[in-house]
Amino acid sequence: VVLRPVPGCKLGFAVMEFGHKLLVASVHAKGVLSNWNTTHPELSVEERDLLVQANLSTEYFGMVQQLRFSQVLLLKFQRQESIKSQPLPVRAQWEPRAGSQSVDLDGEFGCSTDLDSNLALRAITESAGPHTPATWKSAATCAVDHFLHQEQLFLGLYGYRVLTNRTWADAQVAGQTPILSLKVEQHIEQASHTWYIVCCELVHFKGGARDVVKWEAPRRLAQLRADLHDRVKFGMEPDEYKALFEDTPFAHAGGPSGTTLRLSKWLSTLAASINRLTVTPAVTAFTLTFLHAP
């Protein structure tokens, strides 16, 4: 199970100590976990499942720390019928990252908090809609916070081999390095803003099998500039950025004629640089996070 917590949003389950592991005491109807259960019914988490590993931690205290603070959660559960049939132990239950927000990702959103805007942007990316005007309005205010500090774990989910946030492993698996494709072919008007539809495709390999995921990420020009372009540019040396993007400059401010084509060319160059591993793992990680890669 792979969960990407939203700051302030409930993970949506409670656990209790069970030996040296954690037992799922309850699963709530709304939260990050319920969204996973809905989209992955064959891998859904149920009450009394046993959490045996959280990221690289397999001991109780290590798993608790991961549940509390990790921005990417790779969780391994075991389901045992002997546990299912037992009454729950009478002991304290703990809800990791209880937060104050329990609305599901398809719910209604206002535009008053950063939490609302993050959930709204995630909703318009992960679901084709239609979405309410309030959701578009809230998503329009989102400034994406995607400094992971977990590039090795996060990129490893897609098959990248990473040493540090600035260094790729020397030995990539031949013929199994992920392939990213990005382009923009259209834009739409929602909530008094222009949204450019970034068409994304990621080919990666799971256990040697080829897997292709496609999704669309609507983003405003201001978001593409501040949350992606500027972080790519200022994360490189000036000469390095110029060498990569000299022939495909970023779009002009204000969205004049030709913006869609300039964005598409710039994003295609970024994807090609990621595929060649000529940019750092940090750039690759926040690109995928900005686009909410599945």
Q: Specify whether the CB–CB gap between 126 and 135 falls below 8 A.
A: no
What Å distances lie between residue 67 and 57, 100, 208, 262, 285, CA to CA?
A: 10, 17, 30, 41, 21
pLDDT of residue 102: 42
Cα(92)–Cα(217) distance, rounded to whole angstroms?
41
What pLDDT is attached to residue 153?
77
Cα–Cα distance between 59 and 151 in angstroms, integer? Answer: 23
Contact call for residues 160 and 284 (beta carbons, < 8 A): yes
pLDDT surpasses 70 at 103: no
Residues 231-289 have pLDDT tens digits of 899 888 889 999 999 999 999 988 899 999 999 999 999 999 999 999 999 899 889 98
Q: Which residue has the higher pLDDT, 31 or 219?
A: 219
Helix 259-275 vs helix 238-245: angle between axes, to the nearest 10 degrees?
110
* CA trace torsion 232, 235, 240, 245 (10° rounding): 10
Closest CA to 60 of 114, 17, 117: 17
CATH topology of domain 148-290: PX Domain (3.30.1520)
Higher pLDDT, 153 or 63: 63
C-alpha–C-alpha distance, residues 259 and 221, integer Å? 9
pTM surpassing 0.75? no
- The reported pLDDT for the residue numbered 97 is 65
- Higher pLDDT: 247 or 118? It is 247
Neighbours of 21 (CB within 10 A): 17
Distance CA 145, CA 115 (A): 11
Q: Range with the lowest mean pLDDT among 68-82, 147-161, 229-243?
A: 147-161
Structure-model confidence comparison of residues 264 and 169, the more confident one: 264
Task: Show the beta-strand stretches assigned E in 21-114.
Answer: 21-27, 50-54, 73-78
pLDDT for 171-218, tens place per residue?
A: 666 677 899 999 999 999 999 999 999 999 999 887 778 889 999 999
Confidence at residue 52, expressed as pLDDT on a 0 to 100 scale: 92
pLDDT for residue 113 is more than 50: no
156, burial (CB in 10 Å: exposed 0-12, middle 13-18, buried 19+): middle
Domain with CATH 2.30.42.10 in the chain: 2-84
Most confident among 72-76, 153-157, 220-224 (mean pLDDT): 220-224
pLDDT band for position 166 (cuts 50, 70, 90): confident
Displacement of CA 271 from its chain's centroid (Å): 17
Q: Which residues pair with 209 in a beta bridge?
A: 206
Question: 3-state SS string over 170-230?
Answer: CCCCCCCCCEEEEEEEEEEEECCEEEEEEEEEEEEEECCEEEEEEEEEEEEHHHHHHHHHH
pLDDT higher than 50, residue 114: no
Q: Are 181 and 162 in contact (CB under 8 A)?
A: no
Give the fold, CATH level 3, of 2-84: Pdz3 Domain (2.30.42)
Residues 79-101 pLDDT 10s: 887 777 777 666 667 777 655 44
**CA 145/CA 9 separation, integer angstroms:** 14
How does the average pLDDT of the chain come out, rounded? Answer: 83
C-alpha–C-alpha distance, residues 81 and 54, integer Å? 22
What pLDDT, in 10s, does the model give residues 12-33?
898 888 888 899 988 988 778 8
Q: pLDDT at position 173, please?
A: 64
pLDDT at 246: 94
Percent of the chain scoring above 70 in pLDDT: 85
